[in-house]
Structure 1
Amino acid sequence: MLLQNLINGKESSRQMQQAKFLDGYSPIFSQFGQNVYASDVVQMCIDVIATECSKLKPKHIRTDPNGMQATVKSGINRLFKFAPNELMTTRDFIEKIIWQLYTNYNAFIYPMYEIKSDSNGKKTKEYIGFYPLDPTVVTFVQDETNKLFIEMQFANGTKFTLAYSDVIHLRKRFSSNDIMGGGVDGQPDNAALLKALQINDTVLQGLDKAIKTSLSVRGILKINTMLDDDSQKAERAKFEEAINSGSSGIIPMDLKGDYVDLKPNPKLIDRETLEFLQNKVIHNYGVSVPILSGDFSDEQYQAFYEKTLEPLVISFGQAFSKTVFSPRELEVGNEIVFYQKDMMYLSTTAKLNLLKTAGEQGILTDNQKLAILGYPPIPDGDKRTMSLNYIDVDLVNAYQMGKKGGNQVE
């Protein structure tokens, strides 16, 4: 079933007017063009971020007043286990959101739901799909009660108006604009990045032309007589035939022509300059060369995770939870957490050493140990276990004195 058929006509009967924001800008936003995204370096940076984030495992969990967590049996977990909608797997879903976020500095997801009533008449939302949206124009409007709505126009010209509270909105570089990520106009502010990309493109074009020149023009045939155009063509053809037939490497020529050998010496950009230009671009996305190449250490991935990936993980969990759950559901501990089981920056050895040290002391519950490894909680995982190789410091002296006197300490 198409998304158009599912949400068509929602909120269409209300009288709307443009929403007013304190910054004074009209809340109509068109998506940014593809200028910077034509760069292969930019695409590689976004791709590595999207690929890493696609390893996230979203889960609906509930935290009790004692801080103990448990996975909830819900339709949300059923959807996120394999396919949030009929068109995408969970990995595809997350990867698409990242590309939209980095392309437009805004990403919109529509959580589709049905209202269900239990035997007592209590109504609850049952989620049946999560759909990434890619509107070309976004307009924020409000009704007579000042409730905020979002009107989205898509590439085929169709429009939908939805309550803003029903749409998951992710933002990047949320600064000048009151409601949209990016610059003051709600679009990516890529002016500084475009300068670096333009310089990089100029350098690459210069390299291309220098290489072609060095391989193409090798000399000049100087004809010592006045020839018309047809005669020049005939003389050049004769010279080229001499080149092709010169198996000895010696070209026979008559007295009318001189061959002047050119020694091309193109000036190429030094390695440091090329690396500087590339680093200007990749650092804009919080990616390093080892991360791009895949040859990184624990420390390098840790820096990449903390600078670039972790803010996205936190943002995803907060944005999804805020929209999917009511204030009361949030109050009793419901939330969506994007577990990073397959993208933790610590090596397996480092994680096991941490678990050994903290686990033997009985500091961590089983679920806390699972969280270190990036796994979601399990039932009955709130118990603590510890090693029997440790003793209370208050009993050490009594134990040693008992052993010395041959007595057993009770």
Structure 2
Amino acid sequence: MQQARMLNGYSPIFSQFGEDVFASDVVQMCIDVIATECSKLQPKHIRIDNDGMQHIVKGSINRLFKFAPNELMTTRDFLEKVIWLLYTNYNSFIYPMYVIKDDGRGNKTREYTGFYPLNPTVVTFLQDKTNKLFMEMSFGNGDKYTLAYSDVIHLRKKFSGNDIMGGGALGTPDNKALLKVLSINDALMQGLEKGMKASLQVRGIIKVNTMLESDDQKEERERFEQKMADSKSGIVPIDLKSDYIPIEANPKLIDKDTLEFLDRKVLRHYGVSAAILSGDFNDEQYQAFYEKTLEPILISLGQAFSKTIFTPRELDVGNEIVFYQKEMMYLSTKAKMDLLKTAGEQGLLSDNQKLALLGYPPIPGGEKRTMSLNYIDVNLANAYQMSKKNIGTDGGGQNEQE
């Protein structure tokens, strides 16, 4: 193999860098909110038929996605790890492990045994004589492994200047703009800390108007400190040979608006509002957070997993990985009741779906749907209306009331 050649002229060798920004508590809180929300996703292997209906496929993929994609992580842990790696390195690699099996009809199929997030320190892209792309990954313990790029799920953030990797032109996180804001914020916070300490340090100078030896100076200082300790009125008496010169401590503290302005710049960088960060948000604020920040991640996850896991033929017949966000959707109690009223009256929700929306478990027979025609079974609504119509037209002048 030889190094793959990129159209932009850069050698495709990438190393992780840019962890400086994670010294900021605001940065860590922003990423933690995004990763925590994404950990609520429910990945599913589905197949879409010709009528556009989705069917859950029974197989190894859904078995792994249900509880534990690998032996070290639950599904929630797995998703949180993937998102943290994505925001830390602007690239996230997942290796789907599988074994080849014969289905008994001569067809070879993949049975997946685990999905593993990878955290290489250096990635070198190689290509063979047929121009097939490979990844040589070096890890922290010194091990190196070479895998076909088509066998690795690759998620990218800010995919711009580089042909393969997310981030800047070198395939590493480009945090220059963010680091400027964080450095200013850090300088202000250090100034605030020093200002507070300065206000609690030396408050004055005692000037002794005579020449004293070292031992005499020490004795005079101790005598003055004793007077301060003994004073209950806050007034310290001194004699004619001593003068007390107070030092005015007036530290300049940073105003609230400046600090909030810097925090908002960091929050906007990650697409997280102050309300989302504090957890004190309403429906509209969460919906904006979902559409701006979370939804692009959902789309990227589904497309990257589907592209790698399935062959072109399997994709053609409707196989797909979908990350359902049911647990991620936030609705207030009033919004839930409005949704139940509107969707329930149209017969769009089953009884179990209504219970799930309110946080209750399903009940036997709860798959039945009712609508607002005296809340009868949806399947009987058309027959009921037709029978009413026949009474009005076939009765020889009898009205519909009869």
Which range, TM-score by smaller chain? Answer: 0.7 to 0.9
Aligned residues of 2:134 and 2:146 also touching (Cα < 8 A)? yes
Distance 1:367 1:319, change over 3 A: farther
Distance 1:63 1:116, change over 3 A: same
Match of 2:191 in 1: 206
* Counterpart Cα distance in 2 of 1:161 and 1:268: 55
Per-residue CA deviations over 1:276-325 (Å, capped at 9, x if unaligned) read 01101111000111111100000111111111111111111111111111
Percent identical pairs in the alignment equals 71
- For 1:101 and 1:373, the matched residues in 2 are separated by 34
1:23 is matched with which residue: 8, 11, 15?
A: 8
Q: Residue deviations 1:39-80, cap 9 Å, x none?
A: 001001111111111111111111111110111111111111
Q: Is residue 2:225 matched to residue 1:223?
A: no
Question: Does the alignment pair 1:57 with 2:57?
Answer: no
SS in 2 for 1:35: helix
Summarize the alignment of residues 279-290 of structure 1 with structure 2, pairs less than 5 Å apart. Answer: 279-290=264-275
* SS class of match (1:188): coil
Q: Structure 1 regions of 5+ residues with no counterpart?
A: 1-15, 375-380
> Structure 1 residues 387 and 93 mapped into 2: Cα distance closer, same or farther (>3 Å)?
same
Whole-Å separation in 2 of the counterparts to 1:218 and 1:181: 55
Partner of 1:133: 118
Aligned partners of 1:130 and 1:198: how far apart in 2? 38
RMSD, aligned CA: 3.3
Note the 1:328-367 alignment, pairs <5 A.
Answer: 328-347=313-332, 349-351=334-336, 353-354=338-339, 356-358=341-343, 360-361=345-346
Tell whether the 8 Å contact from 2:13 to 2:125 is kept in structure 1 after alignment: yes
Partner SS for 1:301: helix
Q: Distance in 1 between matches of 2:31 and 2:147?
A: 29
What is the CA distance between 1:254 and its match in structure 2? 2.9
Q: Relative to structure 2, which stretch is displaced further, 261-270 or 63-72?
A: 261-270
**Structure 1 residues 383 and 238: CA distance shift in structure 2, 3 A:** same
Query: Any unmatched runs of 5+ in structure 2?
Result: 360-365, 375-381
1:225 Cα deviation after fit: 2.9
- 1:103-152 Cα offsets, whole Å, 9 max, x none, are 11000011111111121221101110011001110111111111001111
Aligned to 2:288: 303
2:379 maps to what in 1? none
Residue 104 of structure 2: SS of its match in structure 1? coil
User: Corresponding residue for 2:133?
Assistant: 148
In 1, distance between residues paired with 2:102 and 2:329? 41
What CA distance in whole angstroms lies between the structure 2 residues aligned with 1:355 and 1:331? 37
Between 269-278 and 228-237, the greater mean CA deviation after superposition = 228-237
1:9 alignment partner in structure 2:
none
- Paired letter, 2:226: E
Equivalent pair of 2:138/2:145 in contact (CA under 8 Å): yes
Q: 1:258 to 1:35 in 2, by over 3 A?
A: same
Instruction: Assess if the C-alpha contact under 8 Å between 2:18 and 2:173 holds in 1.
Output: no
Question: Paired residue for 1:46?
Answer: 31
